[in-house]
């Protein structure tokens, strides 16, 4: 019996089962009702009394060894099941939610890229401005009714009040005051107007305005630049239409519509205002209006973005609702 116990101890020490099934079979073979160890215990009853002490100890040792071996194998089998479940190498990886450009940024970049191709530089200026750069130098005399066109947020009153710029034309004034001629720039930026917020108006929006000043710049040059821009922006078949308009800083002035075959009604959509820079404006910035002429234009970025994606409510651009913003993920 002693040899059989030793042989079983050796067998248990060398046992290697990896699945639940194999472990259960080993348990039944050793400790089951008819298992090897159970049978040894039965035989033990008939053993000579003088041998009982030594063999009894050995048998108990064998049983403990079998039980702990089986537990040990169960533990490691459970662990490897857990490990293999969490390391399923065939599982596709979790994708990280990536941010994307805001639709206003996408359109602003598109507009700027088009004018960069035409040789325009980008100029920027402060959002908090003074009356001179926003109104006075742009030929809005005090009390001029045109100031009412742009409901202004004033920060201070006085001789040259500080205010939030109502258009980016003030950046053009700063450029005319400081840059060497000729000037060819686009001025992107945020502008502020004291307006009730609705689907079609907001107190903050973005503009890109442009300015070209050189000798002999004509209305025809302006029309051509705007036509080329419209075709780059809205497609090669696009037509433009100019309607007479009024701005204090340009003379003559026009509003520009682009042809539109999906929109209902007239088939034309207004996209920008433009005109030949008024000689008073050139002179206010120290430019000789006898020698130089130029044109300026300005457009609202949200407005163009609304046309491009058929967005009906301007407020979508300011609310940062991820469901809206995610629609623009594919634009880089
Ligand atoms: N500054 C004008 C606006 O805010 C746009 C404009 C710019 C019109 C330049 C003509 C020339 O509406």
State the sign of the Cα–Cα–Cα–Cα dihedral 246, 249, 254, 259: negative
What one-character-per-residue DSSP string does 125-176 give? --SEEEHHHHTGGGT--TT-GGGGGS---BS--SSS-EEE-SSTHHHHHHHH
226 pLDDT above the threshold of 70: yes
> Average of pLDDT values for 195-200?
87
257 three-state secondary structure: strand
Closest ligand 1 atom to Cα of 253: 10
For the record, the structure tokens of 231 come out as: 């075709």
The answer to whether the predicted template modeling score (pTM) of the entire model surpasses 0.75 is no
Show the DSSP H helices in the chain as ranges.
2-13, 20-31, 36-44, 49-86, 103-117, 131-134, 169-178, 219-234, 279-284, 301-309, 316-319, 322-325
> Average of pLDDT values for 40-46?
87
Tell me which of 166, 192, 244, 298 to substitute to probe ligand 1's pocket, judged by most ligand atoms within 8 Å of the beta carbon.
Answer: 298
Cis peptide before 182 (omega within 30 of 0): yes
For the purposes of burial, counting CB atoms within 10 Å of the CB of 101, is it exposed (0-12), middle (13-18) or buried (19 or more)? middle
For the record, the structure tokens of 100 come out as: 């994307």
Tell me which of 249, 253, 277, 302 to substitute to probe ligand 1's pocket, judged by most ligand atoms within 8 Å of the beta carbon.
Answer: 249
Distance between CA 59 and CA 62 in Å, rounded? Answer: 5
Identify the residue whose tokens are 């009702």.
Answer: 33
The residue contributing the CA closest to ligand 1 atom 10 is 274
Confidence of residue 94 (pLDDT cuts 50, 70, 90): confident
Closest ligand 1 atom to Cα of 295: 11
* pLDDT score at 188: 97
Cα–Cα nearest to 126, from 98, 90, 155, 87: 155
Between 122 and 43, name the one with better pLDDT. 122
Q: In this prediction, what percent of the chain has a pLDDT beyond 90?
A: 52
């Amino acid at each position: 019996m002693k040899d059989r116990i030793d042989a079983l101890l050796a067998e248990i020490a060398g046992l290697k089962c990896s699945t639940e099934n194999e472990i259960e079979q080993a348990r039944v073979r050793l400790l089951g009702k008819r298992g090897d160890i159970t049978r040894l215990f039965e035989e033990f009853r008939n053993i000579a009394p003088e041998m009982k002490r030594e063999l009894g100890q050995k048998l108990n040792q064998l049983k403990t060894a079998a039980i702990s071996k089986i537990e040990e194998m169960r533990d490691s089998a459970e662990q490897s099941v857990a490990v293999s479940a969490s390391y399923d190498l065939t599982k596709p990886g979790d994708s990280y939610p990536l941010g994307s450009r805001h639709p206003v940024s996408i359109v602003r970049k598109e507009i700027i890229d088009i004018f960069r191709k035409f040789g325009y530089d980008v100029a920027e200026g402060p959002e908090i401005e003074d009356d001179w750069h926003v109104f006075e130098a742009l030929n809005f005399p005090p009390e001029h009714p045109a100031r009412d066109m742009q409901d202004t947020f004033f920060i201070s009153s006085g001789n040259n009040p500080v205010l939030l710029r109502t258009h980016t034309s003030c950046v053009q004034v700063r450029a005319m005051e400081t840059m060497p001629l000729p000037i060819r720039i686009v001025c992107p930026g945020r502008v502020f107007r004291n307006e009730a917020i609705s689907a079609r108006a907001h107190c903050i929006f973005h503009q890109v305005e442009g300015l070209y000043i050189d000798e002999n710049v004509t209305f025809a040059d302006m029309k051509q630049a705007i036509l080329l821009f419209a075709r780059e922006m809205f497609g090669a078949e696009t037509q433009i239409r100019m309607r007479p308009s009024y701005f204090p800083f340009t003379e003559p002035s026009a509003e520009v519509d682009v042809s539109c075959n999906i929109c209902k009604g007239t088939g034309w959509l207004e996209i920008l205002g433009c005109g030949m820079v008024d000689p008073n404006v050139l002179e206010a910035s120290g430019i000789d209006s006898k020698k130089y002429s130029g044109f300026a234009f300005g457009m609202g970025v949200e407005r163009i973005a609304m046309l491009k994606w058929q967005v009906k409510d301007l407020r979508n651009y300011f609310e940062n609702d991820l469901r809206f913003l995610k629609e623009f993920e594919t634009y880089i």
